[in-house]
Amino acid sequence: MYPLVLARTAHADLWIFRFHYLPVSESPQIRTCELSNYWIISSLAMKVLCLSDTHGHHRKLRTPEADLFLFAGDMEASSFSRLADFSDWVASIPLPAERKIIISGNHDGVFERHPLEARNYLDGIATYLENSCCMVAGLKVYGTPVSLAFNNWFFNIPDDGSIKDYWDLIPPDTDILLTHQPPSGILDSDSGQKNLGCSQLLSRVKELQLRLHCFGHIHPGYGLQNIDSTTFVNASICNDWNVMVHEPIVLQMEFD
């Protein structure tokens, strides 16, 4: 089973070095969907469930047990009814609102068009971040939905260098960064192996001492990579055709 799982990713060499596979039968997670595997960092304290780009498929998932839920955008909140359904599903995750942290993505138009009304759907259910931060378990979490312009979607910023203004807003003492956009060269390859991440985000990330950077957006970039002391996760669970093909990623974070 181990080689089978590793064969799925281009980052297999990194995964085998830092991670071990926890068979579902030996794990405490609850799980009924057809996707059957989790990747877990060995040994420690806080379980972090990373999820992104569900594109309306959230009802097909039964979420693993976790202490912190991070959602990196593209729930597919293109209408209030879709947002209401997603919000109901998030409410069913047995964590307090401050432990469920959500950002939008380029397919979550109601948050850009009707920001106040959209946020009301998550009131008391989750913590919505939009170029803002929160504290959880002593960690600073910063979230932003912006991504480089692509087909004139939502929260798109022209690829003229101006997106740097958004990355500069990330506080220097951020522990967990939640962006929809991947950084350039890290889990950002499309199906044609073209890197679609943002080089200016990469520059900003290099200035920070993040514990975790969770993102999505470029679906085929799904996976996990450790660089120095930062764990990078592309948590997209869909493929390019928005079919759910990947698994939620659960990390266990060590505390110093």
41 or 145, CB closer to Fe ion? 145
Please work out the total of residues on this chain that contact Fe ion, with binding judged by CB under 5 A. Answer: 2
244 or 253, CB closer to Fe ion? 244
85 binds Fe ion (CB under 5 A): no
Q: Which of 211, 214, 191 is nearest to 74 (CA)?
A: 214
The Cα 248–Cα 219 span in angstroms is 13
53 binds Fe ion (CB under 5 A): yes
Q: Which stretch binds Fe ion (CB under 5 A): 20-28, 50-58, 145-153, 169-177?
A: 50-58
- Give the x/- contact pattern for Fe ion in 177-216, rule: CB under 5 A: ----------------------------------------
Among 38, 74, 143, 189, binds Fe ion (CB under 5 A): 74
76 binds Fe ion (CB under 5 A): no
Q: Which stretch binds Fe ion (CB under 5 A): 68-76, 86-94, 188-196, 221-229?
A: 68-76
Q: What part of residues 216-235 is at the interface with Fe ion (CB under 5 A)?
A: none
53 or 247, CB closer to Fe ion? 53
74 or 85, CB closer to Fe ion? 74
- Give the x/- contact pattern for Fe ion in 8-47, rule: CB under 5 A: ----------------------------------------
Kindly list the residues in this chain that would bind Fe ion in the complex (CB under 5 A).
53, 74
